[in-house]
Amino acid sequence: MNRPKKIFIPLLAVIVFLPSCATNLATLRTTKARRADTTAIHRDLISLPEPKEKIVVAVYKFRDQTGQYKSSNTGMTFSTAVTQGATSMLIKALEDSKWFIPIEREGLPDLLNERKIIRSTRMQFNQQLKNKDEEIQLLPPLLYAGVILEGGIISYDTNVVTGGLGLRYFGSGGYTQARKDKVTIHLRAVSTKNGRVLKSVSTTKSILSKEVSLGVYRFVRVKRLLEAETGFTTNEPVNLCVLEAIEKAVFDLIIEGIVDGLWELKNPEDLKSPIIQAYLKEKELGEREFIFGDEGDLISPWDVNNIANNTITRYGFGFNIAAQSHISDEYSNPRIRPAGNFLIHYGVNPWFSLMLNTGAGQLADKDNFKTNMVHVDFKGLFTLFPKKKWSPYFSLGGSVYNFWAKDKEGKEIERNRDYYGWKPAIVPGIGIEYFLSRNLALNAALNYYYTFNDELDGKKTNNKNDSFWKAQIGFIWYFR
């Protein structure tokens, strides 16, 4: 047996992934200081319509109310799970919105002490200048706020969703793992005139951590061990996630106040602006959102109304390329052969859809046979996360197929006449779909075809029905 061929595929896979890993490692270098990163909601916050009059607000303390400490593999640490600088983040968000005039209250003792020093100094100068006409003016009074903003970080939930996927074959393979945490912000506006809570909003942001690893660990010959490994890990910065949740809370508070008449727009017609209307649609959707929904991955930019009302129906067509290989008890050296498919997809509702799939391909053994085949599949697909841009799914259905088995010399193998014509098969499968745009989705799937036929490989023993698996990847274009 040619041993270099045995290690070619796993070694090639590692070589393919090494450049991507090198690219990630290349980013690990020192850089000069720059402006802090902005969040996904920041553009919406600074794009709000202008107010009729800016609102003077005071923020005394926007606290971390979770009391949680950062966890590690060795136990709990003394570092807090979330930032303690949320007050500074809130004031910056208020200033960026151009709707508020924030006044200093967190460092009020320092401010009052400094004003006391200034006042004392000026009084001394006035005493020295009492016989002259000039006099130094005393400090003006402090600006007071009509609204106080209260609240804080009320929840930090770890391991809301965890999972992974891995495959290893004879010491070669890889895995991916993911974990999602969630931080929740509560913000309320309180009137300083009578203590009434004018408006209260709550926002949440997921914090995603991912790890991808690929490696080879196997003996290629006696006392010769091949070992190669690559991978990377990404973690969303917790402080940026907290900042985004705070900015979202300020954004929501402004629009909620506009709708309830607490504050006014400079141009009343701006109430119909796209950014405010998009928020109102998002709010309607949020009231129907499940706890395990991911607000960052909603398809809502183009389908928010339909999804919110559970009326979305999608239909489309697509194509994919595939690789397939047979499973039988007569031959033990199956080859992976190419195949192609054309499919039609119809969405009955967000969770369930139907798919008609036609394809052609080949099954083969290294030295014994080649079988050409065509098939037509009809399957039901069950989508796990229909409100995301991406979602895994599982499918179940049936197939009818026809085949022509040939021996290694290319001559067609004579079959039992009972096996001629179209034959049935059962087809379970799993897959994942990711929307690249409003209409275009990337689709990958792995299907297993169990047949009621023992002649796919041109040899009948009646010990076990033949079957084959097919891995496919392609695109689906949806009409909405």
Band the pLDDT of 395: cuts 50, 70, 90.
very high
Alpha-carbon span 229 to 15, nearest angstrom? 10
- pLDDT at position 377, please? 93
Rounded Cα gap, residues 183 and 160, in angstroms: 11
pLDDT digit string (tens) for 145-167? 889 999 888 888 888 888 777 77
Q: What is the pLDDT of residue 445?
A: 92
- Which H or E run contains 223? none
Q: Among 197-201, 246-250, 251-255, 348-352, name the one with the lowest average pLDDT.
A: 348-352
What predicted TM-score, i.e. pTM, was given to this entire model? Answer: 0.59
**What does the pLDDT read at residue 82?**
78
Residue 336 vs residue 165, higher pLDDT: 336
Residue ranges of the chain that CATH labels 2.40.160.20: 315-479
Over residues 79-98, mean pLDDT: 85
Rounded CA-CA distance 378/354 in Å is 7
The pLDDT tens digits of the residues spanning 201-248 come to: 988 888 888 888 888 887 777 778 888 888 888 888 888 888 999 999
Angle between helices 238-260 and 86-97 (to 10 degrees): 50
Helix or strand (DSSP H, E) at 96: helix 86-97
What whole-number distance in Å separates Cα of residue 183 and Cα of residue 203?
9
91-145 pLDDT per residue, tens: 999 988 889 999 888 888 888 888 888 888 877 776 666 655 555 566 788 888 8
Q: Which two tokens stand for residue 236?
A: 């969303």
Which of the pair, 170 or 416, is modelled with greater confidence? 170
Count the Cβ atoms, other than its own, within 10 Å of residue 52: 10
Q: Is the pLDDT of residue 307 over 50?
A: no
Which CATH number fits the domain 315-479, given the four candidates 3.40.50.720, 2.40.160.20, 1.10.10.10, 1.10.3720.10?
2.40.160.20
- Banded pLDDT at 447 (limits 50, 70, 90): very high
- Does residue 317 contact residue 346 with C-beta atoms inside 8 Å? no
Percent of the chain with pLDDT over 70: 77
Q: How far is 478 from 353, CA to CA, in rounded Å?
A: 13
Triad 329, 332, 336: Cα angle to 5°:
110
Task: Give the pLDDT confidence score for residue 356 in this predicted structure.
Answer: 92
Whole-number pLDDT of residue 133: 52
- Count CA atoms within 13 Å of residue 184 on its CB side: 12
349-359 residue pLDDT tens: 778 889 999 98
CA–CA–CA angle 236, 239, 243 (5° rounding)? 105
pLDDT of residue 379 exceeding 80, the answer is yes
- Asked if the model's pLDDT at residue 423 lies above 70, the reply is yes
- Residue 107, SS3 per DSSP: coil
How far is Cα 22 from Cα 28, in angstroms, rounded to an integer? 10
Q: Is the pLDDT of residue 7 over 70?
A: no
Q: How far apart are CA 373 and CA 419, in angstroms?
A: 13
Residue 62 in contact with residue 250, Cβ under 8 Å?
no
How many other C-beta atoms can be found within 10 angstroms of the C-beta atom of residue 391?
20
Q: Which letter does DSSP use for residue 48 in this model?
A: S
Q: Mind listing the pLDDT tens digit for each residue in 9-65? A: 555 555 555 555 555 555 567 778 877 778 888 888 888 888 888 989 999 888 887
Integer distance in angstroms from the first to the last C-alpha of the chain? Answer: 54
Name the segment(s) of the chain with CATH classification 3.40.50.10610. 3-24+34-105+145-287
Domain 3-24+34-105+145-287 CATH assignment equals 3.40.50.720: no
- 337/359 Cα distance (integer angstroms): 13
Q: pLDDT averaged over the chain?
A: 78
pLDDT at 366 over 80: no
Quote the longest CA-to-CA distance of the chain. 127
